Amino acid sequence: MAGSTFGKHFQITTWGESHGKGIGVVVDGCPAGLALCESDIQKFLDRRKPGKSRYSTPRKEADRVEILSGVFEGRTTGTPISLVVFNQDQRSRDYGDIAAYYRPGHADFTFDEKYGFRDYRGGGRSSGRETIGRVAGGAIAVKILSQLGISFLTYARAIGPVTIPQAAEDLLAQAQNNEYSSLQEHILSDPLYMPDSVSSEKAREYLENCMKEMDSAGGIVEGIITGVPAGIGEPVFDKLDANLAKAIFSIGAVKGFEIGAGFAAAAAKGSDNNDSIHMKEGRPCFGTNHAGGILGGISNGAPITYRAAFKPTPSIAATQQTINKAKEDISISIHGRHDPIIVPRAVVVVECMAALTLVDLMMENQGATMEHLQKLYS
C-alpha cells in the first residue's frame, strides 16, 4: 500500500486535499448488520470542527458527511462504505503565497523533495483536513466497539505546560462511580476538551498569551479504553501497543507516544513497576496498571491507557527564517486563519485512530483458536 490505507480487516482508505473538491474515506471490511446513519458519523466530525472556541481557526467548515455506499435500509451491508465531505470554504487566496517557499515545521519541503512538486493549497494532502477521513471511519469503529461493551474516554491531558493533576486511573475511578457519562459530557463541553475545569481555565490563559505573542502551543492527549476483553493483540509485530503507536503517530504533529507508565517506567524498578495480579469478584485483576492494560502486546482486561504528545502548531505569525523554491534564504511571517493550538481538535482524531486499531485487532483475534472457528462453522 502506498500509505493511504490503514487496517487489515477493518480497513480505511482516505483521500483528499485541503482545497480540493472534497475529503473522503472508503471503509472496507465493516461487518454487515450494523445500524448506521450519517448522524452517527457527523457527531464525531463535529468534535474536530474548528470555530467552536476562540482557540481554533475561525474558518467555517461545515463538513457535512454523506454516505455514498455500503448502507442499505439503515444497516451496513458488508460492502465498502464510501464517505465524503465536500469542501466548501476554499478561499485559495489565503494560501497562494506559500507555493513559492517552504514553511518551517510543515511538510512543504519534504513533499517537494519526494514528489517533485506539491498541491500547495492549504497544505494539500498534509493539511489537518486529511483527518476528516480518519474520524469518519473511526466513528464507525467506535460504534461497533460500543456494541461489544467497549468505551472511550479521550481528553487533553496538557495544553502547553499546563497539565491536569489527575492520573488516568484517578479519572477512571471517578468515572466508575456511576459518573462515567457525566465525565464524558463534561469533557465534550469543555472548550479545550479537558476533564478538569481549573486546568482548563489556566490553559486558556496560557493560550491567550500565546496568541498575543503571535505564537502557538502544543500539548498532550490522553485516552482510556475500558471494556476491552483480555486476549486482543498479536504477540510479535502486531502487538496492540505497537499498532496503537503507529496509528497515533500517523496523525500529523505527534512527536511522542506512551502506554501506561510510559517513559516514567524507564526510571522505575521492577518491584515498583510490575502490576500484581489478584482475584476480585471471581475475576483476575491488577493491583496497579503501569502496563496500561497490555502485556506482551496483548490486552490483559485492564483499562488501556495511552498518551500522545503534539508539537505546537507550526504556522505562526512571528517572523521565521526559511528558503524559497529557488533555494534562497528568506524571512517569512505566516498570516491567515490558523489554530494557535490543534490539541483540542486532535482529541477525537486520537480516539478514532485508537478505535480503528482496536476493532481491527479484535477481528484478527477471531482466528486465534480452533474453538473460534468451530463456533462459527459447526
Site residues for its own copies, 126-155, by CB under 8 A, read 126, 130, 144, 147-149
Residue tagged 517552504 (cell numbers): 102
Compute CA distances 140 → 118, 182, 289, 299, whole Å: 32, 23, 28, 22
Residue tagged 513533499 (cell numbers): 111
Does 165 help bind its own copies (rule: CB under 8 A)?
Answer: no
* Closest distance of CB 23 from its own copies, Å: 8
Residues 223-282 that bind its own copies (CB under 8 A): 229-239, 241-250, 252, 254-263, 265-279, 282
* Closest distance of CB 207 from its own copies, Å: 11
Rounded-to-integer distance, Cα 323 and Cα 113, Å: 14
Of 313, 347, 351, 358, the one binding its own copies by CB under 8 A: 313
Cell of 189: 463541553
Neighbour-count burial for 144-174, b at 16+ CB within 10 Å, e otherwise: bbeeeebbbbbbbbbbbebbbebebbebbee
Number of residues engaging its own copies in binding (CB under 8 A): 171
Q: What size, in residues, is the chain?
A: 378
Rounded-to-integer distance, Cα 63 and Cα 85, Å: 6
- Based on CB atoms, which residue is closest to its own copies, 68 or 173? 68
Residue tagged 490486552 (cell numbers): 299
Residue type, 228: V
Compute CA distances 98 → 110, 322, 334, whole Å: 14, 12, 9
**CB under 8 A: which stretch of 44-52, 169-177, 182-190, 362-370 binds its own copies?**
362-370
Does 219 help bind its own copies (rule: CB under 8 A)?
Answer: yes
Rounded-to-integer distance, Cα 340 and Cα 354, Å: 25
- Based on CB atoms, which residue is closest to its own copies, 93 or 327? 327
- Based on CB atoms, which residue is closest to its own copies, 49 or 121? 121
* Closest distance of CB 137 from its own copies, Å: 11
Residue tagged 455500503 (cell numbers): 70
- Based on CB atoms, which residue is closest to its own copies, 44 or 286? 286
Q: Which run of H or E residues covers position 2?
A: none
* Closest distance of CB 141 from its own copies, Å: 12
Rounded-to-integer distance, Cα 233 and Cα 239, Å: 5
Q: Which run of H or E residues covers position 158?
A: strand 151-159
Residues 171-210 that bind its own copies (CB under 8 A): 210
| 3-class SS of residue 78 | coil
Rounded-to-integer distance, Cα 214 and Cα 29, Å: 45
Q: Which of 241, 226, 230, 44 has its CA nearest to residue 150? A: 226
* Closest distance of CB 160 from its own copies, Å: 6
Residues 321-360 that bind its own copies (CB under 8 A): 321-323, 327-329
- Based on CB atoms, which residue is closest to its own copies, 89 or 179? 89
Q: Which of 248, 254, 257, 156 has its CA nearest to residue 207? A: 156
Residue tagged 504533529 (cell numbers): 253
**CB under 8 A: which stretch of 43-51, 88-96, 180-188, 215-223 binds its own copies?**
215-223
- Based on CB atoms, which residue is closest to its own copies, 33 or 51? 33
* Closest distance of CB 185 from its own copies, Å: 26
Does 80 help bind its own copies (rule: CB under 8 A)?
Answer: yes
- Based on CB atoms, which residue is closest to its own copies, 179 or 238? 238
- Based on CB atoms, which residue is closest to its own copies, 181 or 324? 324
- Based on CB atoms, which residue is closest to its own copies, 219 or 223? 219
- Based on CB atoms, which residue is closest to its own copies, 177 or 376? 376
Residues 19-78 that bind its own copies (CB under 8 A): 20-24, 26, 28-29, 31-34, 66-70, 72-73, 75, 77-78
Residues 103-122 that bind its own copies (CB under 8 A): 104-107, 109-111, 113-119, 121
* Closest distance of CB 131 from its own copies, Å: 10
* Closest distance of CB 352 from its own copies, Å: 13
